[in-house]
Structures are given as structure tokens and as C-alpha cells.
Structure 1
Amino acid sequence: MDVAGFWAMIERSAQETDTRAERVAWLEERLSALPVAEIVDYQTWWTIAANRGCSWDMYAVYWTLMGSGSSDGFEYFVSWLISLGREAFETVADCPDAAVDLPQVQHVLELERSFFRGYRRVTWSKDGKFRLTRLTRRRREIWTREEWPEFELLEYVTFEPYKKATGLETDSLGDAVRARGVKSKFPSLTYHAEPDGAEWDFGDEAEFIRRLPRVARHAGVTQ
């Protein structure tokens, strides 16, 4: 399986299903019909894609959209970005600031505005978190799991197919990927990501505006 085949499978899984659970099951079924080498191919391309999304600037985008963040949540956010397909993912992987222009992210932002109806972001604190001034307790709607911008289970679709095909535990799948010279920047056991680039303070307004001007405008970050 080459990179085009990997993305074709990701995108077709979205076209052929209506829910995330169905999508995961669809991928597991298709992967189970493949030779072991192609299952490893898929996992290798997944890891390469996820690594492209693992940067400090992308972490800042995730932190801003969610209002806070964690290393494992960031990993699942990158998985969600991969689920959007090759064109969308590669656009934001090359330019995290472009994430706010994706229709899917715009939908998340609209849900956020609906969920926090009666709330207003008023400051960007030095600890990198938003402070919200509450005007009313009413909320118009609750987000569903289908809309949440994290997709953890999409990461695991190779596990059962690989175990069935080899009789081995999934640790050996990671070994097979590393044997190809690809190491994940999202260690699954430690939950400590290793993002690309130098770590920076998300509360540094000048740096935030310099790195992510469109995200900064959305967040109301000004000097």
C-alpha cells in the first residue's frame, strides 16, 4: 500500500459510513482482508501523517480551539484532522494557522459559540488559558461525540486485523513500523508528545500573533 492507497482508504471510509463507529468497523473489515505487509504499510503511513501534525504550532491551535489541552487530547485532535482527508490534512500540516479556514473547524467554532451562548472571551491570560465572563447559564445545544474534534478510535483500526493475521500482540506492530525507520512522536504509553520545533509560551501574545495570525484573530489575541 502506497501513500495514495492509504489516503484513499481513509477518505472512502468516510464516504461509505454515517457514524464514527461504522467508520472504524469499515476500516477494520477492509484491513482484515489485507496481507500483513499491507496492514503494516497502513500503520506506517498513519504514523508518518500523525508525525506531520505533531508540531508546537498545531498544539497551540488545538489548545485554542479546546480552551485547554493535554498531550493525549492533542494526539486525538491530530487523528481527527487525518480523518478529514488528505487535502484538508496536508493544508493544515503545512500551515497550522490555516486550520481556522477549514469548513470542519468552522463548524466546531459555530458549535462552540452555540455551546457557550451567554459567554464571552475577554482575556488571554499569561498561563495560556482563556478567561470567560459568564453572562447567562443558558446553552442552546450539546455537542455530540460525532462532532467532537478528537477521534481516538481511528488510531487503533489496525490492531485487531494485525492480531488476527499474525497471532501477535499490537506491540509488535509498532516494532514493525519502527523497523521501517518510522518512529511515532505520540508515544502511546507515556502520553508525552514530542512536537516538532522549539516549545513556546502560548500566553506570549506577540509570539502567538507572529506564528498564528488567523488563529489569534479568532481568539481575540491582540497586543
Structure 2
Amino acid sequence: MDNDAFWRLIEDSLRYSPSRSRREAFLAERLAELPADHIVLFQTHLDIACGRAYAWDLWGAAMRIFGGWCSDDGFEYFRLWLIGRGRTVFERAVAEPDALAGFAEVRCLAGRHRRTWSSDVEWPEWESLDYTAAKAYARVTGDDDECSEGFYDAVEVRLSGHPFPRDPMGERWDARDEATSARKVPSLTELFSIETLR
């Protein structure tokens, strides 16, 4: 399970269904066909991608989409969702967060209150993607505990020596400030009005 295989599996799930719950089932099935150490590697690639997206500019973009607020956990789930959109979307958004405004899955949310976003298809968060490999690992190893210390210990060993930022990369800014937001993410600022989304 190298990085290319990780992204192929994510993109296969995206082609399989727009529903996150169905995609999770698909990923769990596919991962359960692999040796346990490959499942661990899937999680390490997921964690590394999440770490690469840990940046203030992307957090500000997420805040704009969410109407001016995005918690620490919310930003983690947003990054997992972004990974779930596939490698091309992920790489483009990490390099240029305002590019999110050009993606159909973001544009369809503009002008609508968050209460109207479909939780299984549209909502730009995917917390449970982070648990999919652990579930598959439990199934393959026969461990009844899906929060198995063995799985997370194995992931930690694989990630040892890999640098993760303690704080988001770049400079913090306020997505609720219209002038700053218009400078940082002009297209998203135009699409997502803070006032109408509250």
C-alpha cells in the first residue's frame, strides 16, 4: 500500500458512490481483503495527507464555507472530506485554497443554509473516514475492539520520524473579516456570505 495505491482506493470509492456511508462500506470491504500491515499503511497515508493540509489558509477557506466558524475537530473532519474528494481536488486545494470555489461539490452549497446540506452526501466533513481502516483491521485480525491499541500502535510505529506540524502552517487570519477574506480567498468570499449563512 504505497501512496498511489492509497489514492486509487479513495478514488475508487468516490466512483462507487457519492454517499459517504456507502463509500465507507466499500473501503472497509476492500481494505479487509488486504494484509493487516497494508491496512496500517492506508491509515498512515491518510494521517500524512491530513497533516499536509493543516494550514491556516485552508482553515480560513473552510471557515468561509461554514459561515465564519470551524472548530479544531471540524477542520480535521473537513480535511478528511477533502481527501475523500480525491487526489487532484486535494492537491489543488492544499496549494490554493480559494480553488475550492471552483469545485462543484462546494459551489452547490453556496447560497444555502447549512441546515439544508445533506449530511451523507453534501456536508463537507467526513469524520468516520478516520475509523474505516481500524474497523477493517479489527475484522482481519479477529480483534473485536475497533479501537484496538495494536492498530494505533502499528500506525504510530509507521509514522515515527515523520514530521507533523504542531500548529497550522502559515499565518492565522480571520475569515469573518470581509476585507481579509476577500484578499485571501476572493472567490470563496464572493460565494459564501457570512451574514446569510448564520
Query: Do they fold alike, i.e. is TM over 0.5?
Result: yes
Post-superposition offset of 1:217: 3.5
Asked if structure 1 preserves the Cα contact closer than 8 Å seen for 2:61 and 2:175, the reply is no
Normalization by structure 1: what TM-score?
0.73
2: distance between equivalents of 1:57 and 1:72?
Answer: 16
User: Any conservation in 2 of the 1:3–1:45 contact (CA below 8 Å)?
Assistant: yes
Equivalent position of 2:157 in the other structure: 179
Asked if 1:143 is matched to 2:138, the reply is no
The whole-number CA distance in structure 1 between the counterparts of 2:185 and 2:18 is: 33
Identity across the alignment (%) = 36
Distance of aligned partners of 1:54 and 1:170 in 2 relative to their CA distance in 1, 3 Å threshold: farther
Matched with 2:43 is 43
Superposed CA RMSD in Å reads: 2.5
For residues 5-154 of structure 1, what are the structure 2 equivalents within 5 Å? 5-17=5-17, 19-67=19-67, 68-109=69-110, 113-115=111-113, 142-145=116-119, 146-154=121-129
Query: Is it true that 1:198 corresponds to 2:171 in the alignment?
Result: yes
Structure 2-normalised TM-score?
A: 0.82
Q: Are the counterparts in 2 of residues 64 and 219 from structure 1 also a CA contact under 8 Å? A: yes
Using the TM superposition, give the Cα deviation of residue 207 of structure 1 relative to its aligned residue in structure 2, in angstroms.
4.0
SS at match of 1:4: helix
Once residues 204 and 85 of structure 1 are traced to their aligned partners in structure 2, the CA distance between those partners, rounded to angstroms, is 30
More relative contact order, 1 or 2 (CA 8 Å, 6+ apart): 2
Per-residue Cα deviation, 1:2-39 (whole angstroms, up to 9, x for no partner): 11111110111122235221111111111111111111
In 1, Cα distance between the equivalents of 2:39 and 2:157? 14
Show structure 2 runs of 5+ residues with no match: none
Q: Which has the higher helix share?
A: 2
Unaligned runs of 5+ in 1: 117-140, 186-192
1:155 matched to 2:113? The reply is no
Structure (1 or 2) with the greater strand fraction: 1
For residue 148 of structure 2, the aligned residue among 158, 162, 170 is: 170
Q: Secondary structure at the match of 1:151?
A: coil
How many residues are treated as equivalent by the alignment? 187
For 2:127, the aligned partner's letter is E
